[in-house]
Each structure stands twice: as structure tokens, then as C-alpha cells.
Amino acid sequence: MQTLQVELAERSYPIYIGAGLLAQAGLFEPHIAGRQVAIITNETVAPLYLQSLLTTLAGHDVTSVILPDGEAFKTWETLQLIFDGLLTARHDRRTTVIALGGGVIGDMAGFAAACYQRGVDFIQVPTTLLSQVDSSVGGKTGINHPLGKNMVGAFYQPKAVIIDISSLNTLPVRELSAGLAEVIKYGLICDEPFLGWLELNMAGLRSLDQALLAEAVARSCAAKAYVVGQDERESGLRATLNLGHTFGHAIETHMGYGVWLHGEAVSAGTVMALEMSCRLGWITAAERDRSVRLLLQAGLPVVPPEEMTPDDFLEHMAVDKKVLDGRLRLVLLKGLGAAVVTSEFPREILDATLRADYRALVNQLSD
């Protein structure tokens, strides 16, 4: 087992990474405030891992809330089901909420914990690669709005993140690839040598090699823990973690939540950010192409939806959380491993990026 630390003064917390951690009561107990525990999970994860966690928490008064599965259910209506479960079972302020599932469950359970009786403790137990390397760490919680993804929420840190690599053995291939988009992101924004490691080990990661997965998760979490420790509320550095997300969130919102998985949309959005960085002269065509090849190697889509027009993108990007004083800010690259957040770009470069022929780029790479 590896242990990392998110350094946030009195709100610091550990990230535990290893196989079989779901069964280790000793990891959970120090982070549970009282007798009551509420496990929030979904219809897909519950049959796989709920009983194991119930056994681990046998000494507690446990309530289980099983939600429908999918990004389409990351809504106020589904959030109310969590509050219904907590109130029906009369959970008090010393209850601990445990999020058992992927990013949707983690975001909603964390938001519910932030709101319930004005804040109760919670623990993240992420079961997808994407949630293990990204959404479970850093305290971003929330739900979607029809006009924008993750536009309603709160910064609320967990007491611990317990990552059981074994849970990835049941992850569908498409979900695994979606998580790899966020893993690749860390190499692009702050760890160029990691890209070389991923190029060498992508086949092993996709075949669920446990040691390689543990290494990829640990390296990703270490990068995120550092960034969050420097900038908890995304006033500067933390925004670089959103490489590809402004374009990607536009795709998710326009196509309908859940049609494209988050990691799939981020992958296509990352290619758009790479293209724009290249057009600005900040990265070379060779660096762009290397990055696109790695996303393809991970089994990810790299071409945005052909039915989306530049105006469609601009409409959704106008409500992105990084917009300040009416100015769109984007995460771009000034070299592999060197991300910047900027509003300083010519409008014609953005327009050219939105109109670019990404299908032709892929065909060029496959020649």
C-alpha cells in the first residue's frame, strides 16, 4: 500500500492506494466520526462491492443509499434521494458519508455531505480509474445543470480517499479508457517524463496489470495532491487540471450528459487544446501529434462530434467556470508538461481551432 497526503493544514487528509483495501477496517475507522455511516453507491457498483464494505463496517449503524447509475442522474432530483435516506434513518451531525463508486457518486455524495446539517464528514472510495486519479481527490463536489456541467456545487474535502486498485478488475473497457484520458492529462500539464512511461506501458494498463495501474494512480494522485495543496479553490494553478475540459464540457452538455463519457469528451477536448496551442506556436506539430497518438493508444476518441458547430461550442463555453469578467480563459500548453491558463489569444485562433478538420488529422497520423 502507498500513502500520499493532501496538505491543507487542519483539513489535510491521506490517500491510500493498494489492492484489497476495501476489506481493511483499520483504514476506515480513524476517519469515521461516530456510530452512524451512510454508504452512497449506485445500481452497478452495489452488487459488486457493497456487501464487502458492509462487512468491513460491521461495527457501525450503516444506511445504504443506492442511486441510478450514470451522468444523466447527477441532478437535484437524485441528490434528494441521498437526503431522503439520511433523514429517514435519522442520521445526525456525527454521521460519516462514504462515496462508493465513480465520479458521479463521489461528486454527489460529497455535495450531500457538504449540505447535510450544514456539513458532515465523508470518505471517498472511488471504484473507477477516472475517479481514482481525478475526481475523488481535491474536494470538488456538485451536480450538473442543463446549461452547464458541474455548475452547482461546493469545495468540500473528504477525511480520506481509499483507492482499492482491485475494483478496476470489473471496470468496462470503455470506462477504463475514459480514466486514462485524465491520467494522460497529468503528463501533458506538469510531468512530461510521465508521457514516455505511459507510451511504454499503455498496453499493460489496458490489460489491467495491477502494478502498472497502481503506479499510474499514485503518480496521478501525487500530481493532483500537490496542485490542490497549492491552490485549493482554483484561483490559479489548479485550473491547469482542466486541460481539455472547457471544450470537453461543451461536448458533454451539448450531446446530453452520459452520451459521451467524461473522459471521452476530455480526450477530444484535449486534442482541441493541443491544436490551439500548436496554432499559437506554443507547441510543435510533432508534440501535438505525439500527444494525439497517445490518446489513440488509450482507445479514446480524438475527434469532436461532427454535428457540433463552432457556435455550439462557443455557446456552452460561455458558461464555463473559468470565464471571468466575461472573458473566456482556456488551459493551453507552452510545451509538453507546461500548462498555462490564459485569456490572451487572438479570437481568430480560437475560431480556426473550432473549425479544424480533426478527422483529417487522425487520418494523417495513421498514414
Residue where the block lists cell 464555463: 320
The three three-digit cell numbers of residue 149, written as one number: 456541467
> Which tens digits make up the pLDDT trace of 151-182?
899 999 999 999 999 999 999 999 999 999 99
Picking from 183, 289, 199, the residue whose alpha carbon sits closest to that of residue 241 is 183
Residue 231 has pLDDT above 90, yes or no: no
How many angstroms separate the CA atoms of 67 and 104, rounded? 10
Mean pLDDT for all residues in the chain: 95
* Predicted local distance difference test score (pLDDT) of residue 233: 85
Strand, coil or helix: 308: coil
Residue 367 has pLDDT above 80, yes or no: no
* Predicted local distance difference test score (pLDDT) of residue 48: 98
How many angstroms separate the CA atoms of 295 and 282, rounded? 20
Using alpha carbons, list the distances in angstroms from residue 223 to 5, 187, 286.
Answer: 11, 9, 25
* Predicted local distance difference test score (pLDDT) of residue 179: 97
The answer to whether the CB of 25 falls within 8 A of the CB of 49 is: no
Residue where the block lists cell 480514466: 179
The answer to whether the CB of 189 falls within 8 A of the CB of 274 is: no
**Which residues fall within 8 angstroms of residue 174, CB to CB, at 6 or more apart?**
261, 264
Strand (E) or helix (H) holding 142: strand 140-145
Picking from 252, 260, 167, the residue whose alpha carbon sits closest to that of residue 214 is 167
How would you classify the pairing of strands 2-6 and 13-18? Answer: antiparallel
* Predicted local distance difference test score (pLDDT) of residue 361: 94
Residue 228 has pLDDT above 70, yes or no: yes
Question: What CATH number was assigned to the domain covering residues 173-366?
Answer: 1.20.1090.10
Mean pLDDT to the nearest integer, 269-286 = 98
Query: Which DSSP string do the residues of 150-201 spell out, in sequence order?
Result: EEEEEE---SEEEEEGGGGGG--HHHHHHHHHHHHHHHHHH-HHHHHHHHHH
* Predicted local distance difference test score (pLDDT) of residue 319: 82
The answer to whether the CB of 169 falls within 8 A of the CB of 124 is: no
Residue 143 has pLDDT above 70, yes or no: yes
How would you classify the pairing of strands 96-101 and 121-126? Answer: parallel
Picking from 318, 311, 307, 302, the residue whose alpha carbon sits closest to that of residue 359 is 302
User: How far is Cα of residue 220 from the mean position of the Cα atoms in its chain?
Assistant: 11
Mean pLDDT to the nearest integer, 124-152 = 94
> Which tens digits make up the pLDDT trace of 90-125?
999 999 999 999 999 999 999 999 999 999 999 999
How many angstroms separate the CA atoms of 304 and 247, rounded? 9
Which residues, in sequence order, are bridge partners of residue 160? 123
Backbone angles phi, psi at 260, to 5 degrees: -100, 130
The three three-digit cell numbers of residue 86, written as one number: 439520511
Residue 199 has pLDDT above 90, yes or no: yes
How many angstroms separate the CA atoms of 18 and 38, rounded? 23
Domain boundaries, the chain: 2-170, 173-366
* Predicted local distance difference test score (pLDDT) of residue 325: 67
> Which tens digits make up the pLDDT trace of 317-345?
988 777 776 789 999 999 999 999 999 99
> Which tens digits make up the pLDDT trace of 284-298?
999 999 999 999 999
- CATH class entry, domain 2-170: alpha beta
Mean pLDDT to the nearest integer, 9-37 = 96
Catalytically active residues are 118, 140, 182, 224, 234, 238, 242, 245, 249, 262
Q: How many residues does the chain have?
A: 367
Q: Which amino acid is at 57?
A: L
| Helix intervals (H) in 43-125 | 51-56, 76-88, 103-115
Residue 234 has pLDDT above 90, yes or no: no
* Predicted local distance difference test score (pLDDT) of residue 178: 97
How would you classify the pairing of strands 140-145 and 148-155? Answer: antiparallel
